Amino acid sequence: MSVFTTVLARDLRLALRQSADSLTVIAFFAIATVLFPFGIGPEANILARIAPGVVWVTALLAALLSLDRIFTVDFEDGTLDQLILSGAPLPVVVLAKVTAHWLTTGVPLIIMSPVLAVTLHLPAEGYVPLMLALLLGTPTVSLVGAVGAALVLGTRRGGVLLSLLVLPLYIPVLIFGTAVIEGAITGVPVTPLILAGFAILALTLCPWAASAALRQAAE
């Protein structure tokens, strides 16, 4: 637990010092979402129909912008090597870094989502399910993204490769996250427990997979 809190506190402090990174993610999320009404037109019914999918897709793309920074700084300044040599449990370190990523990326996206949903004329019934779906789905995004970030650590054009690796794995989260919102709007509810199940599965597997990839990258 001390390793977890130490790494988490350190990453949060770094995120505060480099707040421009988090602001970039939020700005991309806002701009990409607001562009849809300009491209599709002001028809409220059409925008309301596509709103759940638009918010989820733009949130996933925004989260991708920050995934490669989960381990890059520690890899470049030698902190990762020190953590491995110190015998610190790497799955705990990964979990702490993923938690910091979610707090600085996932939480702002959740907070911004209802504001941006207004521009897409999302029906009132969809706002609470929207935030709930993002609350349950974004941890999976961070956990799976951490595995991808660890796999491409130290490679050239890692950001492009990372996107190719993780985007297909996000499809189930995207499908069910959108379905939860659409179900609440249409009156055919879809349980958000499916998203919770994805998060639990990712929490069980991803820290260990990312740890193995980090050890390989450090060799």
Q: Is the dihedral of CA 126, 64, 25, 150 positive or negative?
A: positive
Quick one: which of 78, 34, 25, 81 has its CA closest to 54? 34
Confidence at residue 42, expressed as pLDDT on a 0 to 100 scale? 80
Question: How confident is the model over 23-33, as a mean pLDDT?
Answer: 92
Using alpha carbons only, what angle is made at residue 171 by residues 165 and 172, rounded to the nearest 5 degrees?
Answer: 125
Confidence at residue 21, expressed as pLDDT on a 0 to 100 scale? 79
List the single range of 16-20, 162-166, 200-204 with lowest mean pLDDT: 16-20
Q: What pLDDT digit, counting tens, does each position of 111-161 carry?
A: 999 999 999 999 999 999 999 999 999 999 999 999 998 888 877 766 778
Confidence at residue 180, expressed as pLDDT on a 0 to 100 scale? 94
Q: What pLDDT digit, counting tens, does each position of 29-38 carry?
A: 999 999 988 8
Provide the percentage of residues in the chain whose pLDDT is more than 90.
53
**What is the average pLDDT value for the chain, to the nearest integer?**
89
Backbone angles phi, psi at 158, to 5 degrees: -60, -30
Quick one: which of 143, 60, 58 has its CA closest to 101? 143
